[in-house]
Structure 1
């Protein structure tokens, strides 16, 4: 945050000098976590609760400066992101919130997890998202949906640090498992080449299977019974506990299809090993 305050002077008019000084002191004086959280809450709330006119004025100043500086230097990735968001969501306070968040670019096969009450914004690309049971989803920026800024600012954790990126752990042929450090769920990602097959052992709990790409044949095995289903892109299935899956990938007559992409979400297996 010290860099943000120093590199984005336009924010001072929204934060106020006292809040800006406290944010700088977080880095310089190594304030304890609780004091730092109070300062971050005050700063983020000041930004998010600013009037529409104030937001537009500050955004104009930032964009004008960055466009000029772009002629003389290479902008940082965060600065480039801000210009991109400002073009997509002109005058939106969510553009300013980007200065408070980590900017993460994930490569294919990578994932990250977010604890409850952690702000996030999906910017571009394709991803599979799994969310634990929740009684609310609170939005405040970069959206056309209903916004509840007051609730969002009150509920956030204001923890500092970089998010942990997961690369997945191989568990079966063609399959990696992504296990966050909580009980609610884990996700298995399978990429089965055309003409190959995959066997998924029965889970102790129920799960949901998503076919993201490709097509094939799925055999649900329970006891001596076997149920056959043709699967294709966009299909989702509820898989009860105790059901083994045998899946064969095929092209469906389309030579451009080279693999079947499956995602299976279920209760974190650690809960059954304790």
Structure 2
């Protein structure tokens, strides 16, 4: 994405400028756009990926967790030469355990990597892809609609709440009027159901 671009973003963050500030979001947007548009220069992207993987192999992790490093390595195998291999550097890597829920509103960059889940999507939501897929890619459309919101991963988690009057029902209700998910767990020993 370029030293000047990344330094501009780092300067704002280190100066304590809010993640919600339009200037900070705009700087992040420039970083992401430069990265994702680099896909056109496949030789350069492959060189950068190889250099990045070499650094990871040498233990240079920065703030990356081992789980995120594993994701990056798997992406490099599954999507060789794809600029999307760098996308975990822009995302919160969240590992959901059974019974956990997260919610991403429209305009939020996210990716589902593995496992089983229930995914609820609004009727008017479009899926716009920019990397790591054989499907149609529209980089410009994705970059245009993203909100470039930054924050702690816990922001996205939706805790289950017991539904009043229904002891076997957990309700997952994100801050969105369109979705509520009920999980019903009836013990095998309960013959009333």
Which of the five TM-score ranges fits, normalised by the shorter chain? 0.7 to 0.9
Would you tell me which structure has more strand in proportion to its own residues? 1
Structure 1: gaps (5+ residues): 1-14, 199-247, 249-274
Calculate the aligned-residue CA RMSD, in Å.
2.0
Partners of 1:88 and 1:56 in 2: how far apart?
14
1:188 aligns with 2:171: no
CA contact (8 A) 2:171 2:182 kept: yes
Scaled by the length of structure 2, the TM-score of the pair is: 0.86
Rg larger for: 1
User: 1:129 aligns to what?
Assistant: 119
User: 1:175 aligns to what?
Assistant: 169
User: 1:160 aligns to what?
Assistant: 150
Partners of 1:65 and 1:115 in 2: how far apart?
34
CA contact (8 A) 2:13 2:24 kept: no
User: 1:17 aligns to what?
Assistant: 3
Would you tell me which structure has more helix in proportion to its own residues? 2
User: 1:258 aligns to what?
Assistant: none
Partners of 1:75 and 1:110 in 2: how far apart?
20
Scaled by the length of structure 1, the TM-score of the pair is: 0.62
User: 2:55 aligns to what?
Assistant: 65
SS in 2 for 1:189: strand
Partners of 1:96 and 1:179 in 2: how far apart?
32
Quote how far apart the aligned CAs of 1:195 are.
Answer: 5.2
- Matched residue count: 182
CA pair 23-77 structure 1, distance change in 2 beyond 3 A: farther
Structure 2: gaps (5+ residues): none
Partners of 2:47 and 2:33 in 1: how far apart?
18
